[in-house]
Amino acid sequence: MRAATTTPALEVRDMTISYDREPVVEGVTLTIPQGRVVGILGPNGAGKSTLIKGVLGLLETDHGEVRVFGGELSGSRQEVVYVPQRGSVDWDFPVTVKDVVLMGRYGRLGLFGRPSAEDRRIAWEAMAKMGIEALADRQISEMSGGQQQRVFLARALAQEGRLLFMDEPFVGVDASTEAAIVELLHEMRDQGRTVVVVNHDLQTAREYFDELILLNKRLIAYGPVKQVFTAPLLSKTYGGRLAVFRDHDDQEIIVGA
């Protein structure tokens, strides 16, 4: 099922980002192929969100080069999708669910364009897929956490990009929304798209993602879950704040973070 393209979805070379001259992300180099669901794991303050924002050009970087599908980021803006952290959204903004999802199409409209019937159809399909058509005319504050997250995922779908970045999509959502998000992630992967997800939950990392990035300012490890999700690498990422147990089947269980 996976697209047999050899061009990597994302290449990051030697990225360093600082706040007030203190480096938050240091010397990260990565190449992510197409058709993967990649989790970014790391303790608080490890620079997970910062790395994503740096890659997307939302923050000024001290150093580093980003290539998307083998070209400049500016050349493939339509392909790159960003789902912000729920906390960073202004929920009191006078805008309806429908409006927000339609915003996913603005990238293709230019400065003067108006959304076409086709744009509206795509937005409706995205809402249907996330099960929120019934909420289309609600103002965005009048919803639960899970519904709010679905709105932003519908917007991401409407953008029809091939490389998606999601910042903590599982925070504060109900179990059914979490399951819907995971299903969506895997569906996207099967269509050959690449999704990079910032996550802080170690428990679920193994089943949700194909590959993991372990980050603590510097890149600790990047690779398939089986190779990376190991006690030595995890404790290197999280420092001493991590306990490793063995359960009755002699399986490693990791608690902490």
Partner 1 sequence: MLYELFIEPWTIGDWMWRGVLVSSLVAISCAILGTFLYLKRLSLLADAMAHVALPGIVAAYLLTGSQSTPTMLLGAILAGLVTSGLIRFVERYGHARTDAAIGIVFTSLFALGILLLSTFARDAHLDLNCVLYGNVLGVADHSLILLAVVTVAIVALTVLFFRPLQLATFDPALAAAFGLPVGLIHAGLMGTLSVTTVASFEAVGAILVIAAIITPAATAHLIAKRLETMLLVAVAHGLLSAVLGMYLSIWLECSSAGAMVTTGALLYAVTLGATWARRRWRRAQRRQRLQASALPG
Partner 2 sequence: MERNRHPRWARRAALATFMGITAASATASAASPGAEIWARTVSFFTLEYGFLAYTIAGSALVGALCGLLGVFMVLRRLSLMGDALGHAALPGIGIAFLLVQTKALGPIVLGATTTALLAALAIGAITRIGRTRPDAALGLVLAGFFGLGVVILSYLQNSASGAQSGLQDFMFGNAAAIQPAEVGLLGGLLALTVALVVALYRPLQLMTFDAVLAKTMGVPVRALHYGMMALVAVAIVSSMQSVGVVLVAAMLIIPASAARLLSDRFERVLLIAPALGAAAGVLGAWLSFLFDGFSSGPSMVLVAALFYTLALLFAPRRGLIAQRRQRQERLRRRDAEATPNAGESARRPHSAALGEAA
Segment interacting with partner 1 (CB under 8 A) among 100-108, 184-192, 208-216, 218-226:
100-108
Q: Which is nearer to partner 1, 106 or 124 (CB)?
A: 106
φ, ψ dihedrals at 5, nearest 5°: -85, 145
The string over 150-177, giving b where at least 16 C-beta atoms fall within 10 Å of a residue's C-beta and e elsewhere, is bbbbbbbbbbbbbbbbbbbbbeebeeeb
Could you say which residues in the range 25-84 bind partner 1, by CB under 8 A? Answer: 53, 56-58, 74, 77, 80, 82, 84
Q: Does 136 bind partner 1 (CB under 8 A)?
A: no
The rounded Cα 15 to chain-centroid distance in angstroms is 18
CA distance 186 to 167: 17
133 binds partner 1 (CB under 8 A): no
Q: How far is the CB of 92 from partner 2 (least distance, A)?
A: 6
21 sits near partner 1 (criterion: CB under 8 A): no
Between residues 94 and 240, which has the closer beta carbon with respect to partner 1?
94
Q: Would you say 16 and 64 are in contact if contact means Cβ atoms under 8 Å apart? A: yes
State the minimum distance, in angstroms, from the CB of residue 20 to partner 2.
10
Least distance from C-beta 3 to partner 1, angstroms?
23
The dihedral region occupied by 156, where left means phi > 0, alpha psi between -120 and 50, and beta the remainder, is: alpha
Residue (20 or 250) nearer to partner 2, CB: 20
Q: State the binding partner of 80 from partner 1, partner 2, none, CB within 5 to 8 A by kind.
A: partner 1
Do residues 167 and 52 lie in contact, with contact meaning Cβ atoms separated by under 8 Å? yes
Q: Of 1, 6, 21, 111, which one interacts with partner 1 (CB under 8 A)?
A: 111
Q: What letter does residue 63 receive in the DSSP assignment?
A: E
> Helix H segments across 160-230?
175-190, 202-208, 225-228
Give me the residues that bind partner 1 (CB under 8 A), please: 53, 56-58, 74, 77, 80, 82, 84, 88-90, 92-96, 99-100, 103, 106-107, 109, 111-114, 137, 139
